[in-house]
Amino acid sequence: LKAAEASYTNADYTTAASLYESLLTKNGPDFHLYYNLGNTYYRLKDVAKAMLNYERALRLNPGDRDTRFNLEICQAKTIDKIDPLGTFLVTRWFHRLGDSMNSNGWALTSLLCFLLLIASLTAYFFSRRSWLKKSGFYVGIVSLILCILSLIYASKTYQAAVYPDQAIIMAPTVTVKSSPDQSGTDLFSLHEGTKVTITNEIGSWNEIELQDGNVGWVPATSMEVI
């Protein structure tokens, strides 16, 4: 790790990237390694690989502002500007809330809400004071809702981390086809750094969906899964 950091400090970014990649291969996923590797690739002007590693870092620590800020800088440098389908303000707020913590954080939140629910039920059923019974009732309802919501977010973030379905286009340019073969109709082109959702896989082809709802098929080798 010190060798990688020293190489980065000395502006030897190629060596630093190689060392960070080796550490990830050896030690497995690590937020700080992904973040540092993203910074290194950004210095190498490889925006696609920088975005890939920032996205992987956010899977482990969704609430990190520095990583999200750096990712937004990279997104501004991509060629494809894709406008997402319109969503309600409340829906966007719930999505942002879900992205604020990883699965462990939401699991812990769910546990705390469950303990608060038990305490509230105890106060409601066994307290002789009316104000305490009333407080226990309302706090219990809120705790139950938060507990269920936290469990949903925990499951969602865990599934996203263990079974990732999003990817970054790594090829400089790729033509999106109407079917999983070269004879398919050309639909549109994508460029490196574009984030896509994988919806199906057939052989060496992946069906993808963009944030604007467009779908098509591209070679699996043209992307790297987050």
* Separation of alpha carbons 71 and 58, rounded Å: 10
Beta strands in the chain, from DSSP E residues, in sequence order: 166-169, 173-177, 186-191, 195-202, 205-209, 215-219, 223-225
* Residue-level pLDDT at 167: 96
Half-sphere exposure of 206 toward its Cβ, with a 13 Å CA cutoff?
A: 20
pLDDT at 199 over 90: yes
* Separation of alpha carbons 84 and 104, rounded Å: 29
Q: Are 47 and 176 in contact (CB under 8 A)?
A: no
* Residue-level pLDDT at 88: 65
**Residues counted in the chain:** 226
Using DSSP's 3-state secondary structure scheme, residue 2 falls into helix
* Separation of alpha carbons 131 and 115, rounded Å: 20
Q: 16-24 — which CB contacts under 8 Å span 24+ positions?
A: 16/40, 17/41, 17/44
Average pLDDT value over all residues in the chain: 92
* Residue-level pLDDT at 97: 81
Average confidence (pLDDT) over 148-172: 88
Q: Are 36 and 1 in contact (CB under 8 A)?
A: no
Q: Render pLDDT for 73-109 as a digit per residue (tens, 0 to 9).
A: 999 999 998 877 766 667 777 777 887 788 889 999 9
Average confidence (pLDDT) over 2-30: 96
* Residue-level pLDDT at 157: 83
pLDDT at 142 over 90: yes
* Domain at 166-225: CATH code: 2.30.30.40
Using DSSP's 3-state secondary structure scheme, residue 193 falls into coil
Half-sphere exposure of 8 toward its Cβ, with a 13 Å CA cutoff?
A: 20
- Higher pLDDT: 130 or 160? It is 130
* Residue-level pLDDT at 86: 62
Percent of the chain with pLDDT over 70: 97
Domain 2-76 adopts which CATH fold?
1.25.40
The pTM of the whole model exceeds 0.85: no
Which of 46-55, 98-107, 178-187 shows the lowest per-residue confidence on average (mean pLDDT)?
Answer: 98-107
* Residue-level pLDDT at 94: 78
Q: Are 50 and 59 in contact (CB under 8 A)?
A: no
* Residue-level pLDDT at 87: 61
* Residue-level pLDDT at 201: 94
10 Å Cβ neighbour count for 201?
12
Please, what sign has the CA dihedral across residues 179, 185, 188, 190? positive
pLDDT at 37 over 70: yes
* Separation of alpha carbons 64 and 62, rounded Å: 6
Percent of the chain with pLDDT over 90: 74
